[in-house]
């Protein structure tokens, strides 16, 4: 999908607005897991999540390819919306972001702080997405999908940084929502000619990507009732499926309890806050730690944007109700 040169160029653009994120071996975390583990800290980015990279490259492309555009519209559970709002407003565009009712208040507030017009619609991400695409037609806003080549180009820069620093990784665990993160990891690995195995992680309550790979076609999940809102996708994306169905070693599902345990482990072992989707990769490694003994593994801490009340509930030993 991208050459090494194309990823280098994307990284130069992204790094005009943010520093490369750290990849750290936390000794206590490794001691508990029994696995040599590298954490890629996308939770330290400008918006607290990896999505900011895709916002930078997408809006840069949009303003050059479609200079007539005055505003964008998209749907999100929070991190994608923050990334698009930040870059769109900076480029002088309006940013209209649809979220489902009951979405994270703190993520909504963050998007509004970047200048987004945040609109609530529907009971889940996919219903909000459908309305956003309808409004794009009615109001002549440019519809920004959750998955797009130019978004993946930016997102892939985190994996480019990781693989450049740690080219001998045996495996990387990556969360899957709509798929830009795992696809960016796959294309960066392939561009650098590495053999690292990519393992996707979904919530047991939102298994559309896993079911689709197992059945060899797009499979819509019945629901996406997970507190890990970045994973809460019912309808998989064909373009993403085309990449991860071929490029991922396997996709595994983790329970709500496993995700909550991973959030607690991140905080106790590294004092880093993680949202549900951000901890999913670690939850996957925790599930497969025996399989990974003796290997060098990375996990993507893809976001820190967890609501205060939810974080309190999890640190208290409970699992948030959806």
Cα separations (Å) of 204 from 139, 208, 225?
37, 10, 9
CB 35 within 8 A of CB 289: yes
Determine the 3-state secondary structure of 159 from DSSP: helix
CA 279 – CA 260 distance, rounded (Å): 8
% of the chain with per-residue pLDDT over 70? 100
Residue 322 is predicted with a pLDDT of 86
Looking at CATH, the fold of the domain delimited by 51-143 is given as Rossmann fold (3.40.50)
The per-residue pLDDT for range 100-147, each reduced to its tens digit, is: 999 999 999 999 999 999 999 999 999 999 999 999 989 989 999 989
Give CA angle at 164 (161, 167), nearest 5°.
130
Cα distances from 275 to residues 80, 130, 183, 222, in angstroms, run 14, 25, 20, 23
**pTM higher than 0.85 for the full model?**
yes
* Boundaries of every domain in the chain: 4-50+149-315, 51-143
The pLDDT, as a whole number, for residue 152 is 98
Q: Are 84 and 108 in contact (CB under 8 A)?
A: no
C-alpha to C-alpha distance for 9 and 95, rounded to whole angstroms? 26
Q: Give pLDDT, residue 147.
A: 94
CA 116, CA 225: separation in Å to the nearest integer? 26
Handedness of CA 114, 112, 122, 143 (dihedral sign): negative
Res. 275: pLDDT tops 90: yes
- Tell me the pLDDT tens digit for each residue of 290-303: 999 999 999 999 99
Band (pLDDT 50/70/90 cuts) for residue 9 is: very high
Is 51-143 the same fold as 4-50+149-315? yes
Q: Which numeric CATH code is attached to 4-50+149-315?
A: 3.40.50.1100
For 271-275, what is the mean pLDDT? 98
What is d(CA 268, CA 262) in angstroms, rounded to the nearest whole number? 10
Q: What is the pLDDT of residues 67-96, one digit of tens each?
A: 999 999 999 998 999 999 999 999 999 999
* Span 213-222, average pLDDT: 96
Query: Per-residue pLDDT for 58 more than 90?
Result: yes
φ, ψ (nearest 5 deg) of residue 115: 110, 5
Which of 24-38, 51-65, 129-143 shows the lowest per-residue confidence on average (mean pLDDT)? 129-143
Looking at the predicted structure, is the pLDDT value of residue 1 above 90? no
- And the tokens for 253? 């599902």
Q: What is the pLDDT of residues 154-180, one digit of tens each?
A: 999 999 999 999 999 999 999 999 999
Cβ(187)–Cβ(296) under 8 Å?
no
- Residue 121: Cβ-neighbour burial (10 angstroms; 0-12, 13-18, 19+): middle
- What pLDDT sits at residue 158? 98
pLDDT band per the 50, 70, 90 thresholds, residue 274: very high
Confidence of residue 12 (pLDDT cuts 50, 70, 90): very high
Please give the Cα distance from 17 to 6 (Å, whole number): 18
């Amino acid at each position: 999908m991208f050459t090494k040169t194309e990823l280098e160029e994307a990284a130069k653009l992204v790094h005009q607005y943010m520093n490369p994120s750290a990849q750290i071996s936390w000794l206590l975390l490794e001691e508990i897991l029994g696995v040599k583990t590298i954490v890629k800290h996308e939770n330290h980015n400008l918006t607290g999540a990896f999505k900011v990279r895709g916002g930078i490259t997408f809006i840069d492309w949009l303003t050059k390819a479609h200079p007539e555009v005055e505003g964008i519209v998209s749907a999100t559970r929070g991190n994608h919306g923050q990334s698009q709002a930040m870059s769109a407003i900076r480029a002088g565009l309006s940013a209209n972001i649809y979220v489902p009712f009951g979405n994270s208040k703190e993520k909504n507030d963050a998007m509004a702080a970047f200048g987004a017009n945040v609109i609530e619609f529907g009971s889940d991400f996919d219903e909000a997405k459908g309305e956003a695409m309808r409004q794009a037609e009615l109001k002549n806003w440019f519809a920004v999908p959750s998955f797009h080549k130019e978004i993946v180009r930016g997102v892939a820069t985190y994996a480019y940084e990781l693989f450049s620093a740690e080219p001998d990784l045996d495996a990387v665990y990556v969360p899957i929502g709509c798929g830009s993160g795992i696809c960016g990891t796959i294309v960066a690995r392939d561009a650098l000619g590495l053999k690292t195995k990519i393992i996707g992680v979904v919530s047991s309550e939102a298994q559309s990507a896993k079911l689709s790979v197992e059945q060899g076609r797009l499979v819509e999940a019945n629901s996406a009732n997970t507190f890990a809102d970045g994973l809460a996708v019912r309808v998989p994306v064909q373009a993403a499926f085309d990449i991860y169905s071929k490029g991922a070693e396997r996709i595994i599902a983790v329970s709500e309890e496993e995700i909550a345990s991973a959030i607690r482990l991140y905080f106790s072992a590294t004092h880093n806050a993680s949202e549900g989707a951000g901890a999913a990769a670690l939850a996957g490694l925790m599930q497969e730690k025996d399989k990974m003994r003796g290997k060098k593994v990375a996990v993507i801490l893809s976001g820190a944007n967890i609501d205060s009340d939810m974080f309190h509930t999890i640190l208290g030993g409970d699992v948030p109700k959806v």
